[in-house]
Structures are given as structure tokens and as C-alpha cells.
Amino acid sequence: MYEIMTAGPTQVSERVRMARSLECTNPDIDPAFYDFYKETCGLFEKALHTQAHQALVLCGEGILGLEAACASLTEPGDRVLIIDNGVFGKGFADFVKIYGGEPVAFVSDYHKPVDPAELERFLQQDDNFKYATVVHCDTPSGVLNDVEALSKILDAHGIMTVADSVAGLFGCKLDLSNSCIDILCGGSQKALSAPPGLTMVWVSGRAWKSMENRNTPIASFYCNLLNFRDYYENQWFPYTMPISDIYGLREALDAYFEMKDEIYDRHDRIAAATRAAVTKAGLKLYVTEGWAQTVTAVCVPDGITDHDILEAMKADHNIMISGCFDVLAGKVVRIGHMGENAREEKVTATLAALQASLEKLGVTIECDMAQEFCAAL
């Protein structure tokens, strides 16, 4: 088994794995499961600092939340603003198109967060959008957008916000009560460190109303959030819930609440120390300002390939880090220091292995990265 230091899925603690082996009831008809599910959603709401009971756990990997948001809100012909400063940001346009919407891109530099003032200037020219999509931590680069501030600007123009925080939540702070976000998407397998398979979504009252007031039906069953909304009153789920996955998610949420503030502090310190070590080594960070606390993208040095680095890390050190895809394919390798991966000893070992791998490939490293990391913590 490799030590997975990837940008998600992340390592899964023993207590979460054990929780997934608990005895199962029939989740369709056992009232105790409806209570358990509702409490679990409640913990997610609490983590997001909202009193509103509008969270759901859907059966499907993180992408399901993104598609469900677009499927449920988009009617044919709707104009949707795609805030694009990263690969996942850009990708929302595909979901909008599938459901007949008209995506309009607001493109900004992939090396830094979206500037709220620039978005405001763009909206002065054109703000005829039903909703906008934006990514909190865009994982391929590790750029962190201020989704709270951006959602407020959009709201002032009467535009709803769909925010993807699959790779942000539980590692990068997010306060829904200080935002105008309408649909927030999270996933089980990133900083929460449960296995892949579940999407968490939170839906605002305004977004529910917009879905209810559609002229055309939602063109999906699995992605139709309205099918879920009254699950508790009706004691009915649109499909059988993956009970063992949800037991695991619950355990991960309980673990989060046992450590809450310490978690953000640890992510902050580890991310900053990783960047300090990488730059001191003479390597380049892809993002130049506004880094997420969950992942660091390091530019691949000239003369070697991402594949060379990843293979050396695996073969000589048994550690897996991530390459990249789409427009960043081959340009960066990524260390995922989120959730269970965000531990000093794990990142220290990863940086030592990265250094040895790069040196073996002929790259000059200008410091002892593991030592720099520890010194900067």
C-alpha cells in the first residue's frame, strides 16, 4: 500500500473505517435511520455556521453535487455566469450546457484568486444571470477564492451563487452565515477524510424557491435536489441511502468536532510551511498569492516530467502524490496536505521523498526541504 499524499482522496483514519463496518438497518424504512441522517446533516450545518436545516447527503462522489446544483437550478435558456480561474471553475460550464443553460465565462488569472473588484466591474456591464458558479479551493492549482465575498457581490446584483468547496471544506474556513451562497457543495473524500462516495450539499431558501418556481421540470432524477427536500417529513428517500458510507461520514464529522479549531490551525501551519520549504528549495509554486490550506501545486522543473517525479516517489519512497489534468496537465505535481494527510510527520516524509526524487532526476535542491518545513511550522 502506498502512503497517499494526494489532493484527494485522502487517508482514512481507523475509526472511520471501523464505523463503516457497523451493523446495518434498512435505511428506507427504519425511522431511527432518518433521525441519524438528519443529525448527520445537522452536524454539517453546524460546521458551516448555519442554523438553517437545509443540508443533504447525496449518494455519489463530489461531482454529483456540482451536477445536481446545475440540474436543479438551470432551465433551458438561463444565462449562468461561470467564474473561471481554475480547471473546476471552468468545468461548471459543461454541466450548465447539459441542462440547456447558456454559460457565460468570467475568466481570470489561474495563478491567483478572483479579485472581487474585477468581478464587480464585469457585473457593471452585464449582470443578467440567474446564478453564478465559483470554486472555493480549485484543486488543480490550489488557489483559494474568497467565496464569501464573491457571493455577496453576486447577491447585490440579484444573482444566486453555487459554490464548490469539495476540496476546501474542513481544511479552509467557510462561514455560510457570512455569505450569500445558495448551494454549497462538499465531498466526503477530501479534508473530511472519509472514503469517496458521498456528496454533501447545503441549499438556501432562495434556491429551493427558485427550483419550485421553475417553468420546466428538472431534467434528472438522481440530480434533482427537490426529490430530497422533504425526506424527513415524508420518511422517504428518493433512493436507498448507502448506510455504511454515511456511518463513516458521521464518524469523520464527530472526529472533526472533537478537534475543530486545532484542525484549521494545523492546516494553516502545514500549508505555509510546505510553501516555505518548496520556495527555499528553489522550486516554483504555481499559485503566486491566495493559497488554499489543503493542497500545494509545485511547478515541474525544466528537463523532467511530472511522470518521472510521481514514479520515483512511488518506487523509491512508497508515497503517492498527485499529478494534474486539463490545462495544468504535466505542469505541476501536487501535495495534498488535507484532513488525515495534514500531519507534520506525513508531510515531512513527503517533502524528504520529493527532494530525493528530484535530486535523483538531476534537479538541484537548494535546502533540506524536510528541515525547512519543520523549522517553518
Ligand X SMILES: *Cc1c(COP(=O)(O)O)cnc(C)c1O
Residues that bind ligand X (CB under 6 A): 8, 61-63, 88, 135, 138-139, 164, 166-167, 187, 190
Q: Answer yes or no: are the C-beta atoms of 292 and 143 closer than 8 Å.
A: yes
DSSP string, 341-372: G--HHHHHHHHHHHHHHHHHTT----S-HHHH
Nearest to 296 by CA among 373, 231, 358: 373
**How far is 251 from 260, CA to CA, in rounded Å?**
14
- Cα 292–295–296 angle (5° rounding)? 95
**How far is 166 from 169, CA to CA, in rounded Å?**
6
Q: Cβ of residue 244: shortest distance to ligand X, in angstroms?
A: 20
Q: Cβ of residue 27: shortest distance to ligand X, in angstroms?
A: 24
Question: Shortest Cβ contact with ligand X: which residue?
Answer: 62
Nearer to ligand X, 61 or 368 (CB): 61
Nearer to ligand X, 63 or 367 (CB): 63
Q: Cβ of residue 87: shortest distance to ligand X, in angstroms?
A: 8
Q: Cβ of residue 336: shortest distance to ligand X, in angstroms?
A: 10
Nearer to ligand X, 171 or 187 (CB): 187
Alpha-carbon dihedral of residues 369, 373, 375, 377, nearest 10 degrees? 180
Q: Cβ of residue 331: shortest distance to ligand X, in angstroms?
A: 17
Q: Cβ of residue 243: shortest distance to ligand X, in angstroms?
A: 22
Nearer to ligand X, 322 or 348 (CB): 322
Q: Cβ of residue 215: shortest distance to ligand X, in angstroms?
A: 29
Nearer to ligand X, 88 or 131 (CB): 88
Nearest to 54 by CA among 217, 197, 169, 201: 201
- Collapsing DSSP to helix, strand or coil, 55 comes out as strand
**How far is 188 from 40, CA to CA, in rounded Å?**
13
How far are the Cα atoms of 65, 68, 267, 364 from residue 337, in angstroms, in the given order?
23, 28, 7, 24
Nearer to ligand X, 147 or 255 (CB): 147
DSSP string, 80-108: EEEEESSHHHHHHHHHHHHTT-EEEEEE-
Q: Answer yes or no: are the C-beta atoms of 361 and 308 closer than 8 Å.
A: yes
Q: Answer yes or no: are the C-beta atoms of 263 and 21 closer than 8 Å.
A: no
Nearer to ligand X, 50 or 188 (CB): 188
**C-alpha cell recorded at residue 325:** 489534468
Which amino acid belongs to residue 168?
G
Structural element, H or E, at residue 132: strand 131-135
Q: Cβ of residue 340: shortest distance to ligand X, in angstroms?
A: 16
Nearer to ligand X, 135 or 347 (CB): 135
Nearer to ligand X, 277 or 342 (CB): 342
Q: Cβ of residue 40: shortest distance to ligand X, in angstroms?
A: 20
Q: Cβ of residue 179: shortest distance to ligand X, in angstroms?
A: 17
Nearer to ligand X, 123 or 150 (CB): 150
Interhelix angle 369-376/243-280, rounded to 10 degrees, is: 100
